[in-house]
Chains A and B, each alone.
Chain A
């Protein structure tokens, strides 16, 4: 069996209070708040944000999501490219809230077989929930990345998986639906998890008493609490109050929240059956979960609709050459610049001649840093974020940034909406992978900056 050696969480900075949703939709508030993606975030970009915090090499990247932006086009390969992974095996797990644990189980097998040394499992969801629907208050957006290798702080000691296509929620076209929440809670969720868990315990020759904590993602927080009550265990933090349920990233979020203390845990996930994984945490793993929860900005319901693209017109200038993007992947996605061998200047993007001394074909490609300082900037009302035609309300913040380690680059400053505090000369910023704009039925990704979180 393999181990979990590292873990990183990404939560969008924006938090929408359920009270706000209730006021706008007339539905009763479920209390607390949920994390919502900025307009330029989706499951691909959030996956990159979570994964780029993990140090070291990976030889496989398994991506789990129920909300991949493309129906045909693998997300894992975009993520691997943004992470500048060399020659990794890439694979998408999709269509089920169980996709992330499917990926974790697969990663365990890949490593256990000895064929792969270090596997990156990254789960992200940004489910397109219809405003005004029941699920709007339940699901939040976020991503979690986990490193799986032979030796690590938390050892996977066993797992069991069972399938059961009904009941449970589904999305045929563009609306998340469930037949009946009570039927799902009892005969879908609770019975699937229990069945998988019992089989696993049988295989391991253990009883529930051998486990310190049990976490299991659920269609709603109550179902989890009822399940744990039935088993006679103490419910753990479920993150409904401050994050919401992160789709298939939720089981990974629950796992991340357990890694900071030792003990034996059961991790369950539900979707057309259940995966249950037994993990022994021998050393605490420090994650960024606490920092992610602390760093928050509130968003109004109107701005939330704007972020979802449901208000305002968005028309980007026409520059959709995929040929160009393909040629410039190393600069645009992997974010390499060049270091001139004659004058030593580090510049961006890669170009045959040095921008300072003109030396031809005499440079080395170098990966540019993540952090930097604003040299100058503007807040441009003629353009809206994403190069869309300005609406006068959402300005396009752009900054000339001197990156640590060299290289000067013009970036969009994101995560702003109308909150422009702190954008000034010398402000410290960090790169963040985002959707640049959508045009001609394609999503163009690349790097922006945001103020440090």
Chain B
């Protein structure tokens, strides 16, 4: 598969109390159109993601924000993987030749439900089951990893320190401040062992990308990056009820990564790719993602962060943009933003955050109780 990214638009992520979802969507969509040097009427079909129904539902979330009527628009929802699943749907539509120019967008207005953690997700917890918050779900992985591999809260803290270091340099990040290991460890506990700085924040934001086939991009005279592959896998939403679940690896990621690597002809990601963007909803998630993305062996995730391998100037930079840790996680927007960040990096336009000689990278979205994952590979043409 070869799909060209010809335009990217991303709002600043943060507490946009004064903006509605349509304000954010208009901003991201027009930025992407300007970037592609196209007009809204040039878009033939749209995939627009929202996770929470209070942000918006159906194709109307896009049509009525942009007053873009009479075209095919699908709303996509797939937990925190909503953003990248949007891009995946749009990619295959344009790759199939059914459309020439399409858009994938995502928006989330989390502040409309208040700033105290994302609201409980209807449908995950059936009658008789205790509710677990999002940090709680991933904290269960951390406690098992601590037990199994002797990882410590200090290891998790290093992830926060690295990502906030990068995010402090990104103009669109929600948090643009570095943090220290001590600050991270001293912060209040949200779900043991995860403290405030181990968690990505609740933020608002929108992102959009314009996609076409490379030959059309060339004809239009656009500068473009290439999506080489998108893999995606759905696992159980009750990992706590599946006896084979280790809580040390997220099978959805493992399978989505294998799919994407195979599609892009990658056998050794550490050698064939230059950097990656992983779903660091929580610090523990990033360390487990290293392993699931085959950057190291099981149990060695903490070693990578300790040795600085994933720092922006390390051997294999992870989250040079600052990740969800710095951007916050407006759910449906995050995956689309990651694709935009990949494009910027491989085109050498990531000012102040540019990974040296970045020609190919991956992005990874993980959603729900680790039940849905998507992995995309983006390269220079």
Contacts and interface: CB of A to CB of B under 8 A. Distances in A.
Interface of A: 317, 319, 321, 324-325, 328, 331-332, 345-349, 355-356, 375-383, 387, 390, 395-396, 398, 400, 402, 406-412, 424-426, 436, 444, 446-448
Contacts of A331: 128
Contacts, number: 132
30 contacts: A317-B120, A317-B122, A319-B125, A332-B128, A346-B243, A347-B241, A349-B128, A355-B238, A376-B140, A376-B144, A377-B143, A378-B140, A378-B143, A379-B192, A381-B189, A381-B191, A382-B116, A382-B191, A390-B133, A396-B131, A398-B136, A402-B243, A408-B242, A409-B240, A410-B130, A410-B240, A410-B241, A425-B144, A436-B130, A447-B128
A333 to B, nearest CB: 8
Nearest to B116: A382
Interface in B68-114: none
B242 A355 contact: yes
* Category for how many chain B residues contact A: 35 or more
Given A396-B130, A425-B147, A446-B127, 12 more contacts: A324-B127, A325-B127, A325-B128, A347-B243, A356-B243, A380-B191, A383-B133, A400-B140, A409-B241, A410-B241, A412-B130, A426-B147
Contact of A380 (B125, B135, B241): B135
Contacts of A447: 128
A411 B144 contact: no
Contacts of A325: 127-128
Contacts of A319: 122, 125-127
Contacts of B147: 376, 425-426
B117 interface: yes
B236 interface: yes
Interface of B: 116-117, 120, 122, 125-133, 135-137, 139-141, 143-144, 147, 188-192, 236, 238, 240-245, 247
A436 B129 CA distance: 8
B247 A375 contact: yes
Nearest to B135: A382
Nearest to B188: A381
Given A319-B125, A400-B240, A410 B190 contact: no
Contacts of B127: 319, 321, 324-325, 328, 332, 436, 444, 446
Contacts of B139: 378-380
> What 10 A-B pairs come out closest when comparing CB atoms?
A410-B240, A378-B139, A332-B128, A382-B133, A380-B136, A412-B130, A376-B144, A379-B192, A387-B131, A425-B147
Contacts of B126: 319, 324, 328, 349
Contacts of A346: 243
A424 B193 CA distance: 12
Nearest to A320: B127
A410 B129 contact: yes
B191 A378 contact: yes
Contact of A379 (B128, B188, B191): B191
Contacts of A446: 127-128
A382 B137 CA distance: 12
Contacts of B122: 317, 319
Contacts of B247: 375-376, 400
Nearest to A402: B243
A416 to B, nearest CB: 12
